Structure 1
Amino acid sequence: MPVHSRGDKKETNHHDEMEVDYAENEGSSSEDEDTESSSVSEDGDSSEMDDEDCERRRMECLDEMSNLEKQFTDLKDQLYKERLSQVDAKLQEVIAGKAPEYLEPLATLQENMQIRTKVAGIYRELCLESVKNKYECEIQASRQHCESEKLLLYDTVQSELEEKIRRLEEDRHSIDITSELWNDELQSRKKRKDPFSPDKKKPVVVSDILFQFLGWWLLLYVHFCTGHTFITY
Structure 2
Amino acid sequence: MPGIKDDREDSDGEEMDHDSGESDKSSTSCDSSEPPSDSDDSSEMDEEECERRRSECMENLMDLERQFTLLREQLYRERITQVDTKLSEVRSGRAQEYLQPLEQLQKNMRIRTEVAGILREFRLTNISNKFEAEEQASRQNYEVWGVLSGGVPESEKSLLWDSIQGELQEKVRRLEEDRNSVDLSADLWLVERNYGKPIRRGKVSEPGRRKPVTVSGPYIVYMLSDSDILEDWTAIKKALSVSKRKSDRIKFAFEIWHHGGGEVGYIILIPQWVTSNALRDCK
TM band (smaller chain): 0.3 to 0.5
Q: Name the structure where helix makes up a greater proportion of residues.
A: 1
Q: Normalised by the size of structure 2, how large is the TM-score?
A: 0.36
